[in-house]
Amino acid sequence: MEFNFGVMIDSSKSQEELTTLLLEQFPNATRDGGYIKANRNVLQLNDNFEYDILRSNEEKDGWIYYKYDLSVFPIEPVHLEEQRSLARVIISAIRGSGDRAELVAEFEE
């Protein structure tokens, strides 16, 4: 099973604002260029090339067209529950700030 996962994010915030929000969730996180290192993972936030404001509001699969794509992948050995927990923290922070977020993973709950 792959422990990589993605989070599609629909937000009016800038990448910098979202990066700051994510850094605040992990006290031991570090920023390394365009990456965040946290909980034995690298988080990389990118523009979604499929972004479409109208299609992002469609009921079925609208998340495909959200503005940002957050890729999360381990850089050290991790367990499934660690990745699930990490995904929950990320999604909770994003949704808690008023934005939409959708988990894209083999281990979706």
Give the domain ranges of the chain.
5-104
Token output for 20: 């700051």
Token output for 28: 């031991």
Q: Are strands 41-47 and 35-38 parallel, antiparallel or unpaired?
A: antiparallel
Find, among 92, 91, 98, the residue nearest to 5 by Cα.
91
What pTM was computed for the model? Answer: 0.94
Find, among 36, 98, 47, 101, the residue nearest to 73 by Cα.
36
H or E, element range at 101 = strand 100-104
pLDDT at 34: 84
Task: Report the CATH fold assignment for 5-104.
Answer: Alpha-Beta Plaits (3.30.70)
pLDDT at 108: 62
* Ranges of the chain with pLDDT below 70: 1, 108-109
Q: Is the dihedral of CA 21, 24, 29, 32 positive or negative?
A: positive
pLDDT at 1: 66
